[in-house]
Structure 1
Amino acid sequence: MLKFSLIFMFMNSIIMPTVTHPLFLGLLIILQTIMVSIITRLMSSSSWLPLTMFLVVVGGLMVIFMYSTSITSNNIFTKNNITKYFLFTIMIIPLNKEFSIYFFKDTLCTLDNFNKEFFKMFSEVNWASSVFMFYYLLMALLMLIKMINLTKGPMRKKY
């Protein structure tokens, strides 16, 4: 899993400089953030750091997304030659012999560690605090929906 994530991050890093549309660039940044969070989770014993990092980055990207959609709402998405970069990355994978040999072994080893961490997080000791946290987030979501006036329409102005 770790090697697959690294190869996927390499592919995203190659594609990013060629992208001209801000929405596609935002999608690539979100995918890169997901891969960094997965790698951080696989290398650390705690899942809180990758979760916090992911939520902060995605929160910032949502603000950037709202700003960029209000500016570039009518731009046409032009298809660059991204497929050649994708094919280049696919051709690199078989060259790495370790990737094909140890891919499934690496996945099975991290699966056991994931199950242990998951059961620690939702054990009987932490059950009450987890339920309180879920309830608190649900209430915050419902209050936010109630505060937003849905009759006003979209956030951007129509001229």
Structure 2
Amino acid sequence: MKLIMLMLIINSCITPSLKHPLSLGLSLLIQTLLTALISGFLSINFWFSYILFLIMIGGMLILFIYMTSIASNEKFNLSFKIMLFSIIMMLMLTMFMLNKSMLVNLNLENTWIQTKYAMSLNSIHLNKYFNYPNNIIIMMIVTYLLITLIMVVKITKKNQGPIRQK
């Protein structure tokens, strides 16, 4: 858990220095994956974190299509400072992992059992959202999203191509 948090901090430190949309998208993908892992470890199952990851990937696909239509010919250059910073951070991360005194507090099985026990006491489950009072709201949201999807498809014109003109 501490390792994932450390990787989140490193990724957050590197992200402001990135300039290309592809590198920013990769950084966002790594950040989403690490956040989904943390939320999965802290809950009983990985269902919520899996849905979070899929939603973020869907949004990133839309961003990728948009960026390739706008800036398709832009070159991707790696900065020496960012590469050096990444290598130093990875070396520090490796030294952190190899140092046995740092890993004494990382008992994930004990944390997992404690989390499962605490969650079973509270009986927090996602199926409560689909029971009687809330299922009407869920069905309204699904219907709204379907109507919005149909409207967006009808509004877009087939004859007009990409956003970027030749």
TM-score using structure 2 length: 0.58
Q: How does 1:11-26 map to 2 (within 5 A)?
A: 11-17=10-16, 19-26=18-25
Q: How does 1:1-80 map to 2 (within 5 A)?
A: 3-17=2-16, 19-29=18-28, 31-32=30-31, 35=34, 62=63, 66=66, 70=70, 72-79=71-78
Partner of residue 131, structure 2: 123
Over 3 Å counting, the alpha-carbon distance change for 1:143 and 1:67 in structure 2 is same
Over 3 Å counting, the alpha-carbon distance change for 1:92 and 1:136 in structure 2 is same
> CA offset at residue 30 of structure 1?
5.1
Larger Cα-atom Rg = 2
Corresponding letter in the other structure for 1:76 = K
TM-score using structure 1 length: 0.60
Tell me if structure 2 keeps the 8 A contact 1:93–1:99: no
Tell me if structure 2 keeps the 8 A contact 1:22–1:68: no
Tell me if structure 1 keeps the 8 A contact 2:21–2:67: no
Over 3 Å counting, the alpha-carbon distance change for 1:127 and 1:89 in structure 2 is same
2:111 is aligned with 1:106: yes
Corresponding letter in the other structure for 2:93 = T
2:164 maps to which of 142, 149, 156: 156
Corresponding letter in the other structure for 1:104 = E
| Contiguous gaps of at least 5 residues in structure 2 | none
Q: When the two structures are aligned, how many residues end up with a matched partner?
A: 143
- SS of residue matched to 1:76: coil
Corresponding letter in the other structure for 1:23 = L
| Contiguous gaps of at least 5 residues in structure 1 | none
Partner of residue 153, structure 2: 145
Q: In 2, Cα distance between the equivalents of 1:20 and 1:8?
A: 20
Over 3 Å counting, the alpha-carbon distance change for 1:157 and 1:123 in structure 2 is same
How well do the aligned residues superpose, as a CA RMSD in angstroms? 4.2
Over 3 Å counting, the alpha-carbon distance change for 1:25 and 1:7 in structure 2 is same
1:89 maps to which of 90, 93, 98: 93
1:2-61 per-residue CA deviation (whole Å, 9 max, x = no partner) reads: x35412312312432553423212331454366568768959xxx8xxx7xx98xx69x9
Tell me if structure 1 keeps the 8 A contact 2:4–2:38: yes
